[in-house]
Structure 1
Amino acid sequence: MQFMPLCEKMGKPAIHWENACGKPDASAGILFSGSMPSKAIRLFKIMNISCVGLSTFFRHQRKYLEPTIISYWEAEQANLFDVLRFEDEGLVLSGDGRSDSPGHCAKYGSFTVIEQRLNKVLDIQLVQSNEVKSSTWCEFEGLKRTIDHLDSEDLVVSALITDRHRQNGKWIREECPEINHMFDVWHVSKAIGKKLDKIALLKDCEDIALWKPSIINHLYWSAGSTPNGDGALIVAKWESVMFHVQNQHINHPNLVFPECDHGPLNAQARDKEWLTPNTKATVKLEGLLMAKYLLKDIAKLSTEYQTSGLEAFHSLVLMFAPKHTGFSYFGMTCRLYLAGLHYNENSDRLQALCSDGRSQYNIRFPKFKKGGHTVRVVKTKPTYDYTFTLMKRLLESYRESPLALNQSMNILRANAPGPLASAFDQPNKAEAIARHTTRFR
């Protein structure tokens, strides 16, 4: 059965699907689209369309697809490095880790950095948990590998925005003092919000729940209204919130920020009561908001760039590497690279417009809002040109030398970590089956 390839209809380079069990075209289409092979192959079987089997797919992936993806990612990454080497001010990065499974017992941990001014994924490091002490150390190891990689490419990191990972912070402070390490406001506000919810459950502290949105907004304002990044001023603005909630708006004892910056308040429009000084609620709230460790972190809030792009990228990774599915080391690596290629191609999408020219928005009801809504910008449709480039590179390399494609992965495989089970004693299978019993009849 012959089909006109979609790429021909779209004016893309023609790619012909010949001999599903021979050339790796069908396998490439499944992987490059981020699909799960078992589901995609089952779809073709249900539709009675000839397709590769699972064993053939994994053979194609191992020999031809993985080296194509890795070489293309490295080429695109090298182009980004060439552009950034001419930046005199150094790189401004946001970085964060991601585990491949829910909970704490992850097999893989990846660390990703995005260059904030370009909004491009610059580097992705995958760490298997048996390479470090435990899965909780994967993010730290990924950070070190990222910094080492960028240093080997003669790239200077001037600023790095992360969450409040203590291990990462200590290492950057001691080993990379030239990097201006800052914290993402959303991560700090999220931690404060959870503790506010816990305090609001206490007796005589229920009014704190009404003040939570205002306190979180004040944190964002404290950072956003200080574009020069003056940590002392950010902390002074933050400390004023305790006076504000007690209806004291002038004559604060803090000389850096002695009074609230808002205008006259409308008493009739208020939806919550002022807190009374020296009550249980006020004392608990002050103990939380004025804690020394928190003030120290607030002084390092990032005032211009945040990690929202990284959070969006991690959501995108779920399309290519869902957490309910296990992958081989290079299988996970390639799916992370595919997510990076997709993000970089679509990172500059504009806001979509309605037929009458108005900007498009939609309303969402995220779980953390607990019934509240948020307004989100609707972007234009994403493109997938990188998949056609990948297919073209694959077929060109396959026609030239299939063996060379496979051999290019041998060096990488030799240095890859062994499977988690390699650390255990392997029993004789026949003896294990003979000893096998069940607790149920």
Structure 2
Amino acid sequence: MDDSSSLIATFDLIQVSQASSSVAMEPLGFKKGLERLLDEGLDIRVVTTDRHPSIRKIMREQYPEIMHQFDPWHVAKGIKKKMVAACNRRGGKELGPWVKSVSNHMWWSCCSSKGDATELHRRWTSLLHHITGVHRWEDNDSVYQCYHKDLAPEHQEAKKWLSEDSAAYRSLREMVLDKRLMKDLEQMTLFKHTGQLEVFHSAMLKYCPKRLHFQYPTMLARTMLAVMDHNENHSRPREQDKTAAGVPRVNVVMQKYSGQWVPRPLYKKTTQEFRQELVDRVFERRMDPTVQYKDPASRLRTPRLPANIALVAKPSKEDVMKTYTSRFRGPTEGL
């Protein structure tokens, strides 16, 4: 996806038999797509992904001239997941009310640091002071304070601050000062997030539901439809839907980590004009006397896919039966 326009520029459909494992599929598709865009002459200066180890290595070793940024949404999601797990451990229940606040703080730290890695580190670690009820502190002979407005006395007393000697605080401090996270913050200074791409992935489930199996050509065509749908509606203003009486429509859902019911706005449906255009072009092509029916050139080009991911050619059944030995029986006994 292009960051400036939110348009899907290209995609690759990878089948597990094309890679050595299911884990290797994502780096393979990523590299193929990036190479295609570079071959088209696009000037790619920044690439934003999650913190996938293989993709990090690809960007570091093969594309050092391209700046690699990490998505703060994925990082905040990972921290939220760790905090929810810590809440279920002994002494960690006090972290529950802070899960959403810590996730929001990560987001705010990245978007407000203005490309300064040092400032990003300082804003992120300031959480450890605020969460104990301390809003002004001294560090390296300098005085710092929280960026929020001064809290009213009743608000300060009602807030469930953490004690520095509590198990919940120690657990949170370990997450905040994690060495890998502190290093990765340096690649989150530009605040490049993949939120729009996650929206596309969610809409793609309408065309490619995960619980149904499709052959490669069908999956390819359905992915193309999902891309067309997104590219037609990406710039459409997200207007909240309203009832006949003009009341904004909302849906009430429960958050797993907080156990609270919260409202979620319901937006107007997307446009589907591209479908009618497709149907019109199909009829035009079918009525064109110069195009032969079942023209091979009009079919989707399906790559030659291996039958499986095995590195050794499949032997005959007779050879397998001769050499197979069960842990419970002798060779081929009882088969």
Contact 1:276/1:282 (<8 A) preserved:
yes
Instruction: Choose which of 97, 108, 111 in structure 2 pairs with 1:224.
Output: 111
Q: What is the one-letter code of the residue matched to 1:195?
A: K
Residue 406 of structure 1, aligned match among 296, 299, 305: 296
Shift in Å, 1:150: 0.2
Cα offset, 1:223, TM superposition: 1.4
The Cα shift of 1:222 comes to 0.7
Instruction: Report what 2:225 is aligned to.
Output: 338
| Same amino acid, percent of matched pairs | 27
Question: Is the Cα–Cα contact under 8 Å of residues 17 and 309 in structure 2 kept in the other structure?
Answer: no
Larger relative helix fraction: 1
Aligned-partner SS, 1:383: coil
User: Retained in 2: the 8 A contact 1:172–1:179?
Assistant: yes
Take 1:230 and 1:357, find their aligned partners in 2: how far apart are those partners? 49
Q: Larger deviation: 339-348 or 385-394?
A: 385-394
Amino acid at match of 1:248: V
Q: How far does residue 377 in structure 1 lie from its aligned partner after superposition?
A: 4.4
Residue pairs, 1:170-181, within 5 angstroms: 170-181=57-68
Counterpart of 1:387 (choices 258, 270, 275) is 275
- What is the DSSP-based 3-state SS (H/G/I as helix, E as strand, rest coil) of the residue aligned with 1:252? strand
CA RMSD in angstroms comes to 2.9
Does structure 2 conserve the Cα–Cα contact (< 8 Å) formed by 1:364 and 1:375?
yes
User: Whole-Å Cα distance in 2 between the matches of residues 182 and 361 of structure 1?
Assistant: 36
The residue that corresponds to 1:242 in the other structure is 128
Q: Which residue of 1 aligns with 2:325?
A: none
CA distance in 2 between partners of 1:392 and 1:195 (Å): 51
Measured in 2, the distance between the counterparts of 1:235 and 1:408 equals 55
| Cα shift at 1:373 | 4.2
Quote the Cα distance in structure 1 between the aligned partners of 2:287 and 2:141: 73
- 1:426 is displaced (CA, Å) by 7.2
In structure 1, distance between residues paired with 2:252 and 2:190: 26
1:258 aligns with 2:144: yes
**Could you say if the C-alpha distance between residues 125 and 290 of structure 1 is closer, same or farther in structure 2, counting changes exceeding 3 Å?**
same
Structure 2 Cα separation of the partners of residues 255 and 179 of structure 1: 38
Q: Distance in 1 between matches of 2:187 and 2:66?
A: 12
Deviation at 1:245, TM superposition (A): 1.7
TM-score, length of structure 2 as denominator length: 0.82
Residue identity opposite 1:365 in structure 2: V
For residues 29 and 213 of structure 2, what CA distance do their matches in structure 1 show? 20
The one-letter amino acid of 1:234's match is: L
How far apart, CA to CA, are the structure 1 residues paired with 2:149 and 2:121?
A: 21
Unaligned runs of 5+ in 2: 319-333
Instruction: Give the distance between the partners of 2:244 and 2:278, measured in 1 at CA.
Output: 37
- Per the alignment, do residues 297 and 118 of structure 1 end up closer, same or farther by CA in structure 2, a change over 3 Å counting? same
Equivalent residues, number? 314
Instruction: Say whether the 8 Å CA contact 1:130–1:420 is kept in structure 2.
Output: yes
Structure 2 counterpart SS, 1:161: strand
Structure-2 separation of matches of 1:394 and 1:221 = 49
CA contact (8 A) 2:243 2:249 kept: no
Name structure 1 gaps, 5 residues minimum: 1-113, 429-437
Cα separation, 1, equivalents of 2:141 and 2:219:
53
Provide closer, same or farther for how the CA distance between residues 425 and 243 of structure 1 changes in structure 2, counting only shifts above 3 A: same
The secondary structure found in structure 2 opposite 1:348 is coil
Find the counterpart in structure 2 of residue 124 from structure 1.
Answer: 11
Instruction: Label 1:280 to 1:376 Cα distance change in 2 as closer, same or farther (>3 A).
Output: closer
